[in-house]
Structure formats: structure tokens, C-alpha cells
Structure 1
Amino acid sequence: MIRPVRSEIEAAGHLGHVYASRRAPVAGDPDTALRDPAVVLVHGIGVSHRYLRRLHGALAESVDTYSIDLPGFGATPRPDHTLPVADHASYILGAMEQLGVLDFVLVGHSMGAQFAIEAARQQPERIPYVVLMGPVVDSKRRTVAQQALALGRDSLFFESPSSNALVFSDYIRCGPSWYLKNLRVMMEYPTEQRIAEVAAPVLVVRGANDPVASADWCRRLAERATGRLAEIPGTGHVVQHNRSAEVAEAILSFAGLPGRATGAARQEFKA
């Protein structure tokens, strides 16, 4: 893996962190200036880039890869007010523009799927492909109690010790007050309506055992986006940590990017 380099970037009036793994240019290669689009990874509520590290590493073997810690998450300064989904999307777009990354495949996990949808709506010309991993919030389960129950089931029965350790240690760092403020934002965002306004092709990825992003919900989102659904067997909500190789393959194949293919994830594609 190309070791990520952290940059502290202020964009859209807020401060966040971007972790970049860029491939070195090949001397004398005329295609260096015509690189494939980069892949940008965005975390969900309460967490950070840390649970994206395995996926970041798998993707960085083939393409320029960036992971973002949004303002108020991970080790970034907390804004003086809760940001709506649109503001996080503006941060993603502004931060990547400052890094000179003008077009990219945008990948969001959980609440990060909402940020990805919104960024693709704001500047569709910059985002040729959108990938939503374990997207929220299921329109048939729109209460906090239902979401909490699903998350509890996931952590107890379908996650690995390492994924639980990453997620819950980040939750502690986030703190209950900031988490709950952002939870309200997450619950109010109409994912199923906004996804229909995304012009780019959309891939929805879920762990086959994920109780948070159900098969029915993910299938409905894919249909509204005229997208595709990929189910990764043997894992739950934090699919990108527990099955990083399969998820990386699904993303690269979907976006037509170079990479090593095993065929495991591709067999899971559904129209």
C-alpha cells in the first residue's frame, strides 16, 4: 500500500483531514497526465477514516485513493453548529478541488452515503460514479429505536472484533452529544428521494447479513437510481472493513478502473 499522507484542509468554511495515497508518475509514460479518476472514501456518523483503512489500502494498489475525515469527526475540530448533509458534501467537493482532484469516484458508507448522494447532486460533472455502502436510512424503519436495534444486532452477531473496536472507539471520541445532533440530521435526510436526482451510475453495496441496510432497502435504492446492487456474503454493516478485497473489486469493476479481479464480488452483481 502507498502510505497515506494527511493534509489538513479548510473548505466551505470548515476544517477537515484528507488522507491521500497517490501513485508515483511513470517517467516517459504519455498516459500519466490522463490518469483514471481517483476514488474518494467518506465515513459515516460518529466514525472516521480508520474503518476505511483496509479498503483504502486495497484500492490504492490500483488507483489514487483518498479518505476524508469530515469536520467534527475523527481528530478534526468540531464546528460550532451541526452541519447539514449539504454542507458536508460541499466540504468534500471543496477539499478535493484544493488537492487538484477535479473528478473522482465517490464512495460513502452508512451516513456517508448521504454525503455522497448530495455531492453528486451539487456537482454532477465531477463525479462519474457513485458507490453507496450500507446506505441509510431505510424508509420503512425511520425511527431512532429501529435504527439502534438494527445496529445492536449488527455489532453483536455480524461484526468482527476489529470492526467493533474501530467503530466504538470512534463513537467514544465523537461523544454522545455530537453523535445525537448528527443523528437527527441523518434521520431527516430523504435518501430515497435524493438518490433519484443523481445523474451518475450508482452501485449499492451491502453485506449480505447487514440488518441496518436491508436487502429490500438497498434494492429499492438501486432501482430508484437505475443502479446496481452488489451483496458481499458473510458480513454485516461494516462490509468495507471485513471484506475489503471483495468491496474494492466491486468498486473497481463497476467504475471500469484497473485492478486485480478474482470474480468473487462480480458474481454478486444484480440488476
Structure 2
Amino acid sequence: MTRRDEQFVLDGRSYRVISTTAERDTGAVRFVLVHGVGTSHRYFARLHDELAADGDTVSVDLPGFGGVAKPDHALEVAETASGLAQVLDALGAGPAVLVGHSMGTQWVVELAAQRPDLVQALVLIGPVTDRRRRSMPLQALALAHDTVGETPGVNQRVFADYLRAGPSWYLRHVRRMIDYPIEDRLAEVAAPVLVIRGGNDPIARADWSRLLRDRAARGSMAVVPGHRHVVQHTAPRAVASAIRAFVDGAD
């Protein structure tokens, strides 16, 4: 496999793109991985490598995250999605399977609504924000609950990225995350959708994940028992297997 680490500046905003060309040449990017609020490509590394065995795979660090330069203001969900579309255009990467985690699910859903031509399918891992828990205190409580059950490796990666992004930048995006009505926007997306959650995820709970599955025009759901919110790091093979089966079925 061939691996590249590149920097893009588009409309004055910076992006980092880690791309892997699969052993079996598909001729185009097949998977695009989008991290959540405060984090980076690092907690996608294991899933990235699993998926790269089947298709060209890209992980994107968005403006202000993962050490990428911050823009002059915290971006709205629609602005971030539009910028991500520019990255995919620059890569010649569409249509692709967009894989988002946590707030990354909001960015890929919004991108699918804005630019359906770039989307083959959507994978929403640990989607947020549960419409019955749209407040800072409730989200903080859910995050604390998840943290105590995650592995030390997950917590080290996630909180190192939180510190790198900075508390102010992180919190400004959390406010946008809480306000974004993903369930309504998802209903406007025509592409097939797979919702994945860890069986013990206190952030993307079972009833909320089922609601999103049912809001999608063509929705399905997979659960990885015994895992929590960052299931793509703790169970990358199981998550990759679910994605492969979903993509094969969608095709």
C-alpha cells in the first residue's frame, strides 16, 4: 500500500489528508473518514488500515483539529461540510463512502445533503446529538460516563487531541454540535446509511441510533457488543466488517 500525508489550503482554510492506496487498485478513493469534535485522524488509524485493504482510503483532519491551523472563526456545520466537499473535489474523490464518527456524522450528513454527487453511502459511527439530551450538562455527563469505560489507549488519544485543539475551540464546536438537527437533515439524504454503535455506548444510545436508522431513506444498523463510543478504535475489524457488508449490500 502507498501512503501519503498532505496539507491542503482551500479558501484560506487548512486541511490535513492522510491517504492510502489499496493493494487492489480501485482507481478512485473509496472511503473517507471524518473525525469528531476535538479529535483527529489518529483514533481512526486502525479502521483506516483495515479499510485500506479493500479500497483507497482517506482520513481528513478538519480546520483547527489535529494540529491543523485554526480559521478565523469556529465554523458552522454547513461551513465545515462545504469545506470537506472542496477537499473531496480537490482529491477527485467522489462518489465515496463517507464514514463519520460522533460530530463527524453531522459533517458527513450535511455534506450528503449539500453534495449528493460526492456520496456513494454514509456510515455514521456513534452519531450525535441525541435530541432528548441536547444540553451541555447532559453531553458532559455522557462523555464522562463513556470515558470511565474506554480503554487507556482511547482516552490518551482523545484527550491529547482535545488539549491540542484547546478548550475554547472545542467548546465552540460542541455548541454547534448540540444545536444541529441531524435527524431532520438525514431525512433529506437519498444515499444508503449505516448506523454503527458500540453496544455499551452511553452517547449514541440504542433508541437514538434506531431513530436515525429509521429516518434514513435506506437505513440499516450494526451493533458491536461490549464496546463504547470509540468503537472504531477498540474494534476496528468488526467495524470494518460491518462497513464491507453494508457497502456490498448497497452495491
Structure 1 length-normalised TM? 0.88
Task: Count matched residues.
Answer: 248
Q: Do the aligned residues in 1 keep the contact of 2:47 with 2:232 (CA within 8 Å)? A: yes
Of 78-87 and 15-24, deviating more is 15-24
Give the SS at the match of 1:197. coil
- Counterpart position of 2:163: 172
SS of corresponding position for 1:4: strand
Return the alpha-carbon distance in structure 2 between the equivalents of residues 124 and 183 of structure 1: 26
- Give the CA deviation at 1:3: 5.5
Q: What does residue 261 of structure 1 align with? A: none
Does 2:212 correspond to 1:213?
no
1:200 maps to 2:191? yes
Give the Cα–Cα distance (whole angstroms) in 1 for the partners of residues 186 and 204 of structure 2: 15
CA contact under 8 A between 2:40 and 2:161: conserved in structure 1? yes
Specify which structure has the higher proportion of strand. 2
> What does residue 14 of structure 1 align with?
13
Q: Please tell me whether residue 187 in structure 1 is matched to residue 187 in structure 2.
A: no
- Deviation readout 1:175-194 (Å, 9 max, x if unpaired): 11101111111111111111
What corresponds to 1:152 in structure 2?
A: 144
1:100 aligns with 2:92: yes
Say yes or no: does 1:83 pair with 2:60.
no
The equivalences for 1:116-265 within 5 A come to 116-157=108-149, 159-226=150-217, 227-256=219-248
In the alignment, what sits opposite 1:262?
none
CA shift at 1:93, angstroms?
A: 1.3
Q: Deviation at 1:14?
A: 1.3
Indicate whether 1:5 and 2:28 are aligned. no
**Structure 1 segment 38-53 matched on structure 2, within 5 A:** 38-53=30-45
Identity of aligned residues (%): 48
- Offset from partner CA, 1:222-264 (integer Å, 9 cap, x none): 001140111011110001000000001111111118xxxxxxx
Higher radius of gyration, 1 or 2: 1
Tell me, in whole angstroms, the C-alpha distance in 2 between the residues paired with 1:24 and 1:13: 34
Contact 2:23-2:53 at 8 Å conserved across structures: no
Q: What are the Cα deviations for residues 89-114 of structure 1, in whole angstroms up to 9, with x where unaligned? A: 11211112111212100000000000
Aligned-residue CA RMSD (Å): 1.5
5+ residue gaps in structure 1?
Answer: 27-31, 258-271
CA drift at 1:216: 0.3
Distance 2:23 2:239 in 1: 24
Letter in 2 for 1:213: A
Distance 1:104 1:188 in 2: 27
Kept after mapping to 2: 8 A contact 1:10/1:95? no
**TM-score of the aligned structures, taking structure 2 as reference length:** 0.95
Residue deviations 1:3-25, cap 9 Å, x none? 63111112344111010001367
Structure 2: distance between partners of 1:18 and 1:129: 20
Letter in 1 for 2:232: Q
